[in-house]
Structure 1
Amino acid sequence: MTVAREVELEGHIIDSGTMETAFSIIMDMGGEFDVETFDIGRSKTETSYARLTVTADDEATLDAILHELHQNGANPADPDDAELAPAPRDQVVPPGFYSTTNHPTDVRVDGEWIPVEDPEMDCAVVVERGAGTRARTAVLNAVEAGDMVVTGEAGIRVDPPERPRESEGAFGFMQGGVSSERPSESTIEQVADAIVETTREGGDVLAVCGPALIHSGAREDLARLVRAGYVDAISAGNGFAVHDIERDLYGTSLGVNTETLDHARKGHKHHIYTISEVIRAGGIEAAVEDGLVESGVMYECVVNDRPYVLAGSIRDDGPLPGTITDAVEAQNAIREQAHEADMVLMLSTLLHSVAVGNCLPSTTRVVCVDINPATVTQLLDRGSAQAVGMVTDIGTFVPILAEKVLGGAGADSGH
């Protein structure tokens, strides 16, 4: 005896590959399908609609298929209300709770679809009733006893970003994928146009930075973008800030002169000297205000009031004052940055790229640049399918990007 359920797909389901993906999921997982309705959009802007009957040999197989379909934007044709259960105690969710994707999501409560606030992967959904019903994502450590948590798959609607038939404008190139070619000035120019457009529209650009950006000599160019208002916030680790300030104090990064590539005498001690001097000054802001630090990315963040988050690591020296060493506190600070960002540049850092990527909704535009292809592919594999990846040298990418942004928009023009 077989069991069956109808699902719907709507949007640019042909161009985005959504329909092909749905067919593959059903067949690969041992199910079958019949296409009951298929309305094809007849113009570049018209969407398509399909209704499928999915069948399987038993309920367990059908539930597994429907779960995978749901994660990819196929929703039940006859939705029920979402099932809610109270959290038994703080940081404990009910069994079978719904674990979110990073796509825009709605939940059906009392017959009405409610948008879930702050879409983010691997969270619970908490529904609050009061003056008005609202739904929000909650990381597990933020769930409180009595919170009404969505369980199961019923009454949940997921809407993955689509790839339209026509890709135009500054963001037309941002359709996902990885390029392993040498730095392409045309691609970098498109990234630059996207940054300028985001800024012009009042959006925020977040730069997620690794120490390699300083080692490679791209520090001054990123600082120019911060100063000119095309990078609104920085997310980095203690090491990035240490080597940025080391470059100002000693002309080196990890003891190496980034211009001549010479190893300075006692250069291997420069980073720890840097930390000591900043601690002595009372912190990064105090070091800038006292005139100890006079250039660089952190300097520009302080003097131009650009917020930054420095997240600590088990391997940190020091660390610098202001580095958040509590992992949960650091994650919450990164999450706040991620939710405010309209475009994110991930620049040569695997751990921070994945950390920020985990907090981003799939509607946020992401460009990930690293010489190591594993950084880019891991980000996409984790679920940041909206990311555009470039496998290239960060020391070449950032200077060209700054030239394109500042040259095209007017140097140091700001917002």
Structure 2
Amino acid sequence: MKFSAEVEVKGHLIDSMILTKIFDVVMDMGGEFEVLEMQVGKKKKDPSYAKLQIQGKTKDHLEKLLEQVYRAGAISTIGKAVVLKAAPKDRVMPDNFYSTTNNATQIFLGGKWIDVENTMMDKCILVKGGKAMCIPIRDVKKGDKIVVGETGVKITPPERPRDGANVFEFMGSSSSSERPTQHIAKKVAQDIFKTKKAGGKIIIVGGPAIVHTGAADSVAELIRMGYVDGLLAGNALAVHDVEYATLGTSLGMNVHDGSLAVKGHRNHMEAINSVFKSGSIANMVKTKKLTRGIMYECVKRKIPFVLAGSIRDDGPLPDVITDMAVAQKKYKEVLKGAKMVIMISTMLHSIATGNMLPANVKVVVVDINQPTVTKLMDRGTWQALGIVSDVGAFLPLVAQELKHLKH
């Protein structure tokens, strides 16, 4: 064939749908494929192997087909070295730079496959000192060797676990409001328990609806029980948590009965003022001005938290980082080594965090608004378990089940 190339793919191709995805992308793009060789694993732990011939209508069409096929997990049968080009200047990547996914990635360098460190989506790959790593465009320096094209790059898509399905595989990474909340909450609690028991790091990404819906006590309890290793949020979660802990309201509404407090409209500003009086959230805890709540538990148990600012913030609190580049770096530091991330009622912080995570990190996203859940997965965090539910009802169920498991 004039416009054809041979590729191969290894792994658990059948049950993980890897081969199906390759066939789908070729057919969707109007290409042709031929299976030249196929070896199917006979037992559940045995990998499979396939050699395929991919055919395009033109050279350009073939290259586009191969680009998508490589991203689905295939590699060229000819061991071609990765192509590197120098960055023309600071914060500028060379033309045709390779844009990363959140899947485990390797490059063929010096006659062998080496792992790309710090895997994240929508970054480039820097090669330096025999090592490869994902970096954002703002960290690119003039002369840096950056990977270009798809040649010599290998993606390893996540595979179905060999030890049976957990809640993540069972739910198929989709979102729906028509699922049994109590059952799902129990399953999520079991996954949190197992992750922590195995020494895994669990991070919460939260929005102010945690407080508005009355779930702040449950999140504080999760921190108190030792199930949270980091908190990522914005100004609003901290403000309303302090408001609730000191005044019993959230946005001026009494959390326990939903009634409007007298002069409640000023309560969140009163909370901000109280933190400024103390100088910081930590000082407020130290001087016993703050004695309960999510932020209180983080300070008392030395759980790192990062509050990233936005243009709509009141205050913001002295603890809020208003430089977005600095806030993003701090988020990454807290996320390093995370095994599970729970995203609760915050679209922008959830999407931002999802972009920083490799595909092997378990992600649970809970929001009463289905488009929020769907949008996160549509933007690349496809491994997320989407739960469309009121966090005020869902999180207490999770906390209750974890208390039961702990005892």
Report the alpha carbon displacement of residue 284 of structure 1 after superposing the two structures with TM: 0.5
> CA–CA distance in 2 between the matches of 1:47 and 1:189?
33
Paired position in structure 1 for 2:209: 212
Alignment length (residue pairs):
407
- 1:235-284 Cα shifts (integer Å, max 9, x gaps): 01100000000001110000001101010011011011111110111010
Q: Answer yes or no: is the 8 Å Cα contact 1:15–1:165 preserved in 2.
A: no
Q: Answer yes or no: is the 8 Å Cα contact 2:249–2:261 preserved in 1.
A: yes
Question: Is the counterpart of residue 303 in structure 1 residue 312 in structure 2?
Answer: no
SS in 2 for 1:181: coil
> CA–CA distance in 2 between the matches of 1:182 and 1:121?
30
- 1:192-224 Cα shifts (integer Å, max 9, x gaps): 111111111211100010111110000011101
Paired position in structure 2 for 1:44: 44
> CA–CA distance in 2 between the matches of 1:279 and 1:263?
25
- 1:378-405 Cα shifts (integer Å, max 9, x gaps): 1111111211111111111100000111
Paired position in structure 2 for 1:189: 186
> CA–CA distance in 1 between the matches of 2:52 and 2:18?
13
> CA–CA distance in 2 between the matches of 1:163 and 1:381?
21
**What code does the residue aligned with 2:30 have?**
G
- 1:308-356 Cα shifts (integer Å, max 9, x gaps): 0101011000000110111111111112222231100011111111000
**Which of structure 1's runs of 4+ aligned residues deviate more than 6 A?**
none
Question: Is the counterpart of residue 113 in structure 1 residue 110 in structure 2?
Answer: no
- 1:110-165 Cα shifts (integer Å, max 9, x gaps): 11111000110000100112xxx211000000111221111111110000101246
Paired position in structure 2 for 1:23: 23
With the length of structure 1 as denominator, give the TM-score of the two structures.
0.95
Paired position in structure 1 for 2:81: 81
Paired position in structure 2 for 1:7: 7
Cα–Cα, structure 1 residues 115 and 174, in superposed 2: closer, same or farther, change >3 Å? Answer: farther
Give the gaps of 5 or more residues in structure 2. Answer: none
Report the alpha carbon displacement of residue 186 of structure 1 after superposing the two structures with TM: 2.3
> CA–CA distance in 2 between the matches of 1:289 and 1:218?
24
Q: Answer yes or no: is the 8 Å Cα contact 1:39–1:48 preserved in 2.
A: yes
**What code does the residue aligned with 2:353 have?**
V
> CA–CA distance in 1 between the matches of 2:257 and 2:28?
56
> RMSD across aligned C-alpha pairs, in angstroms?
1.5
SS in 2 for 1:292: coil
> CA–CA distance in 2 between the matches of 1:269 and 1:58?
66
> CA–CA distance in 2 between the matches of 1:173 and 1:305?
35
Report the alpha carbon displacement of residue 41 of structure 1 after superposing the two structures with TM: 1.7
> CA–CA distance in 1 between the matches of 2:214 and 2:179?
18
Cα–Cα, structure 1 residues 169 and 315, in superposed 2: closer, same or farther, change >3 Å? Answer: closer
SS in 1 for 2:398: helix
Pick from 153, 160, 184: which aligns with 1:156? 153
**What code does the residue aligned with 2:199 have?**
G
> CA–CA distance in 1 between the matches of 2:315 and 2:306?
16
Cα–Cα, structure 1 residues 116 and 176, in superposed 2: closer, same or farther, change >3 Å? Answer: same
SS in 1 for 2:79: coil
> CA–CA distance in 2 between the matches of 1:66 and 1:164?
27
Paired position in structure 1 for 2:333: 336
Report the alpha carbon displacement of residue 172 of structure 1 after superposing the two structures with TM: 5.6
SS in 1 for 2:364: strand
> Bigger shift: 260-269 or 9-18?
9-18
List aligned pairs for 1:367-382, cutoff 5 A: 367-382=364-379
Paired position in structure 2 for 1:252: 249
> Bigger shift: 6-15 or 209-218?
6-15
Paired position in structure 2 for 1:413: none
Q: Answer yes or no: is the 8 Å Cα contact 2:181–2:389 preserved in 1.
A: no
Question: Is the counterpart of residue 397 in structure 1 residue 399 in structure 2?
Answer: no
> CA–CA distance in 1 between the matches of 2:333 and 2:170?
27
SS in 2 for 1:248: helix
List aligned pairs for 1:65-104, cutoff 5 A: 65-104=65-104
> Bigger shift: 284-293 or 68-77?
68-77
Q: Answer yes or no: is the 8 Å Cα contact 2:282–2:299 preserved in 1.
A: yes
> CA–CA distance in 2 between the matches of 1:169 and 1:18?
20
Q: Identity percentage over the alignment? A: 43
SS in 2 for 1:125: strand
**What code does the residue aligned with 2:111 have?**
G
Report the alpha carbon displacement of residue 86 of structure 1 after superposing the two structures with TM: 1.4
Pick from 215, 218, 221: which aligns with 2:218? 221
Paired position in structure 1 for 2:311: 314
Q: Answer yes or no: is the 8 Å Cα contact 1:209–1:234 preserved in 2.
A: yes
Question: Is the counterpart of residue 358 in structure 1 residue 355 in structure 2?
Answer: yes
Q: Answer yes or no: is the 8 Å Cα contact 1:205–1:344 preserved in 2.
A: yes
> CA–CA distance in 1 between the matches of 2:248 and 2:31?
63
> CA–CA distance in 2 between the matches of 1:165 and 1:361?
20
- 1:269-302 Cα shifts (integer Å, max 9, x gaps): 1011111110111010011111111110000000
SS in 1 for 2:195: helix
With the length of structure 2 as denominator, give the TM-score of the two structures.
0.97
Question: Is the counterpart of residue 240 in structure 1 residue 241 in structure 2?
Answer: no
SS in 1 for 2:353: helix
Give the gaps of 5 or more residues in structure 1. Answer: 411-415
> CA–CA distance in 1 between the matches of 2:203 and 2:260?
32
**What code does the residue aligned with 2:118 have?**
D
Q: Answer yes or no: is the 8 Å Cα contact 2:206–2:231 preserved in 1.
A: yes
